[in-house]
Amino acid sequence: MIGTEFLKGQGLGNQLFCYISARCIAKDLGCEFGTAGQEQLAVNIHSKKGMYFMDMDLGSPIVNVDDFHIYKEAEERLYLKNCVHDMVYGCYVAGSDEKLYHIKDNTLIYGNLQAQRYFLAHKEDIKQWLRVKEEYDSYEFTRDNLCIMNVRGGEYVDNRSLFLRRSYWLNAMKHMKSIRSDMEFMIVTDDLEAAGRLLPGIPAYHFDLAGDYVTIKNAKYLVLSNSTFAFFPAFTSETAMKIIAPKYWARHNVSDGYWASEQNIYEEFMYLDRKGKLFTAEECREELEEYKRRRWTLMRTVKYEDSAVRRQAGKDKFLYWWDKVRNKIYRIHKAEIAKD
C-alpha cells in the first residue's frame, strides 16, 4: 500500500495535493492506496464540516502510521535576502522528486507534493475523484463576460513577500479586458476585508467551502492567487477559457528569476510577471533553467547571521507599512474620482 496522511490544521488545498499525488503514484506503482487521518480532511479554520461536498474515495483507512515506511519528499531550499523567512528557513524551490517512483510498498508519503509530474497523466481520473455532489454544484457565476479572481488574504496579508500587490490584479484585469471589452470581475476570497482594501469597488464574496470551490471551478475566466486552494477547482474545470496565475508563485513579489516553487508551474496556466507580461508554462521552465545555469551555484545554502535578519525585519516592516499607506492613498483617490 502507498498512501499519505491528512494532518491536523492542514489547508484543504495542501490536503488535496497530498491525496491526489499519493493516489496517482500508488496507481503508477501498481499498489493499493490508503490514507491516515481521514477525520482531518477539510477540517481547519475555514470549515469544521469535513469534505461534505464530495464523495471522495480515501482508500483503505490507515490507523497506525507506525506500521508503515515513511518517505519525505526531497526538499531544496535557498537562503535569500528577500524576506526574513527565506533568510532563516530558506526559500522552498524544489521540483519533482523522482525517487518517489522507487519507494517500497507499504509506504506513506509526506511533503509538498504539488508537481504536475505526479498527477498530470491522470487528469481525467482526478476529475472523477474530485467530482462535486450535484446538490452543491452551481453555475450561478458562470458567464462569458465574468472573470473570477481568487484573492488569498488571512495570514498572507501581513507577509510582504506573499500577499499579491494590487498591480498584479490590475494587470491581470487588463489582459482579461483585452479578451472582452465588457469583461466584469468578481472576487472569491477567504478575507473580505483585505479584498475590499486591495480592490475597492469590485464585488467580493466568501461563501462556504463548497461555494468558494465551485465558483472557481465553474468560472469561464480565472485570475488565481499564489494559494493551493484554487488549484484543483481550476485544474478540473470544464468551463475555464483562460487561467492567469502569478509568475514565480509564492515569490512573485520579490523574485529575480527563481520559483517558490518550481513545482507550481502548470501546463494550462498563463503566468503574469510584475511588469504585466504573460508567459506560458514552457517559457517559464526555459527561463528557470537558464536562471539556474547562471545563478544557482551563487546562492546561499546556509542561513544568515542574526544581525542581517534583524536588519531585514526592519526593512520588511517599513515596506509593509509603506505599501499600506500607498493603498490607502489609492482608495481615497479612487473615491474622489467616483464623486466627480
Q: Is residue 335's pLDDT more than 80? A: no
Rounded to two decimals, the pTM is 0.88
Candidates 280, 264, 324; CA nearest to 117 is 264
| DSSP annotation of 87 | H
> Which pLDDT does position 155 carry in this prediction?
86
> Which pLDDT does position 44 carry in this prediction?
81
> Which pLDDT does position 284 carry in this prediction?
98
Residues above pLDDT 70, as percent of the chain: 87
For range 96-108, the mean pLDDT: 97
> Which pLDDT does position 86 carry in this prediction?
86
Residues 91-100: pLDDT tens digits? Answer: 999 999 999 9
Residues 309-332: pLDDT tens digits? Answer: 677 666 666 565 556 555 565 555
Band (301; pLDDT cuts 50, 70, 90):
low
**Does 31 or 310 have the greater pLDDT score?**
31
Could you give the 3-state DSSP secondary structure of residue 57? coil
Q: Whole-angstrom Cα distance, residue 252 to residue 245?
A: 10
For range 170-183, the mean pLDDT: 97
Q: Is residue 340's pLDDT more than 60? A: no
DSSP-based helix, strand, coil % in the chain, nearest 5: 40, 15, 40
Tracing cell 472569491 back to the chain, one arrives at: 188
Phi, psi of 293 (to 5 degrees): -65, -35
Q: Whole-angstrom Cα distance, residue 225 to residue 16?
A: 17
Residues 122-160: pLDDT tens digits? Answer: 999 999 999 999 999 999 999 999 999 999 998 888 888
> Which pLDDT does position 196 carry in this prediction?
94
For range 50-68, the mean pLDDT: 96
For range 274-302, the mean pLDDT: 87
In angstroms, the Cα distances linking 94 to 8, 98, 229, 264, 287 are 24, 12, 20, 10, 16
For range 171-186, the mean pLDDT: 98
Would you say 165 and 156 are in contact if contact means Cβ atoms under 8 Å apart? Answer: no
> Which pLDDT does position 160 carry in this prediction?
80
Report which residue type is found at 202: I
For range 243-266, the mean pLDDT: 96
For range 158-176, the mean pLDDT: 93
Strand partners of residue 279: 271
> Which pLDDT does position 159 carry in this prediction?
83
